Amino acid sequence: MNKIFSNFQSREYSLLRVYAAYEGVQQHFEPLLDCEVGDILMVYRGAGLVHAYYRQGIPQSVYQHVGLKVQNDPILIKQSLARLMELFTIFEPYYQNKKTIKDVKEMEYLYHLYAESWVLVGITFIIPDLPDAPVDLKELTYKVRKETQEYNETMQEVFRIALENWYPHLKGKADFVLPEEVWSGAVKDTTILENLEERSKGFVFYNEQLLVGPDVDLHLKEVDAVLEKEGDDQTSEFSGQIAQSGKVQGTVCLVITREDLDKVTSENVLVTAMTMPAYLPAMKKAVAFVTDEGGITCHAAIIAREMNKPCIIGTRVATKVLKDGDLVEVDADNGKVKILKRS
């Protein structure tokens, strides 16, 4: 029987990060919330982003379980936020180039901590959207997010740099190395490059099973997965959550990966899955931001408020509906994006 999956996140994930995310959910998120998150699916089509999916209905269930923990055990939630700050204190010297990973043993230690931090960051996205969460907890969560959001994407880069320095033959392919290949020392052998090349063409990760190669749709059939369709080129208007009010018109500039950032001009609405600290120069140019993902404490929302630029987050469909050059109206007073003219 086919299983229907909904996209919840799209990022420039390395396979180290894919496996860390899965470990984090299994070993930390589920025990913390006393619930099963269920099947996790990640899809890479050989260019751009890795798209992460949950079974339909799972995100709502996760929100409910976080809400229950907030109501019934707020001390545990505060301890989780404190643990996240503790982990970022450990990571910070690496982020700021004050410290480098000296060997594989240290990388493995940091990798497991990173898996734990990944799910704790997830909780900070959820709490501010819970209507019954105490105000002091929301304020604490916002403070934690603001202090840590600059580095959410950085550990992946730290791992990549270390691997490419240790093993120069991995240059440009380090994102496709598996954790076990690092821990076992298999990455030392240049014969691994053939496997990395095949993974770079596409893969489907499904509950620890990695199906490799460019025929991603065939891999999805093998695991009975159907991807939910969201938006198409017939959509003329869609909505999302208001992160910063305002109303502007501009032409769309799609930013799928960091390589697209140089395209953004002062006449553009920056449209992306979710912004990251590396996007800041482009965000300073753009007239507004529209994202597929995010909550009120996401990077795009925080920066939009600081820059006082209209921003609509969590549309789910923006990057699927909009194309470069489309003329749009971003009505962030009402949370709506309207296509005025197709490119």
CATH number for the domain harbouring residue 271: 3.50.30.10
Q: Is residue 232 part of a domain?
A: no
Distance between terminal CA atoms of the chain?
40
Give me the pLDDT at residue 223, please: 94
As for how many domains the chain has, the answer is 2
Verify that 260 and 332 share a domain, yes or no: yes
Give me the pLDDT at residue 153, please: 65
| One-letter identity of residue 329 | E
Separation CA 123–CA 62 (nearest Å): 10
296 to 52, 109, 131: CA distances (angstroms): 20, 32, 12
Whole-prediction pTM: 0.87
Give me the pLDDT at residue 242, please: 96
Q: Is residue 227 part of a domain?
A: no
In this prediction, residue 56 has a pLDDT band, given cuts at 50, 70 and 90, of: confident
Percent of the chain at pLDDT above 90? 73
Verify that 202 and 250 share a domain, yes or no: no
Verify that 101 and 140 share a domain, yes or no: yes
Verify that 158 and 38 share a domain, yes or no: yes
Query: What would the mean pLDDT of 174-188 be, rounded to a whole number?
Result: 97
Checking if the pLDDT of 48 tops 90, the result is no
Verify that 81 and 14 share a domain, yes or no: yes
Verify that 208 and 243 share a domain, yes or no: no
Domain boundary among 161, 192, 222: 222
Verify that 199 and 86 share a domain, yes or no: yes
Domain boundary among 159, 190, 222: 222
pLDDT digits (tens, 9 = 90+) for 69-107: 999 999 999 999 999 999 999 999 998 889 999 999 999
Burial of 135 (0-12, 13-18, 19+ CB in 10 A): exposed
Verify that 81 and 139 share a domain, yes or no: yes
pLDDT digits (tens, 9 = 90+) for 266-282: 999 999 999 988 899 99
81 to 123, 210, 223: CA distances (angstroms): 9, 32, 36
Q: Of 73, 2, 1, nearest to 227 (Cα)?
A: 2
Contact 291, 227 (CB under 8 A): no
Q: Is residue 230 part of a domain?
A: no
What's the farthest any 2 CA atoms get from each other in the chain?
A: 56
In this prediction, residue 113 has a pLDDT band, given cuts at 50, 70 and 90, of: very high
Separation CA 24–CA 13 (nearest Å): 15
pLDDT digits (tens, 9 = 90+) for 142-180: 899 888 877 666 788 999 999 999 999 999 999 999 999
Burial of 274 (0-12, 13-18, 19+ CB in 10 A): buried
Verify that 160 and 306 share a domain, yes or no: no
Checking if the pLDDT of 138 tops 70, the result is yes
Q: Is residue 120 part of a domain?
A: yes
Tokens, residue 74 = 């707020």
Verify that 95 and 129 share a domain, yes or no: yes
Q: Is residue 231 part of a domain?
A: no
Structural domain containing residue 277: 237-341
Verify that 121 and 193 share a domain, yes or no: yes
Give me the pLDDT at residue 230, please: 72
Mean pLDDT over the full length of the chain? 92
Verify that 119 and 14 share a domain, yes or no: yes
Give me the pLDDT at residue 246, please: 97
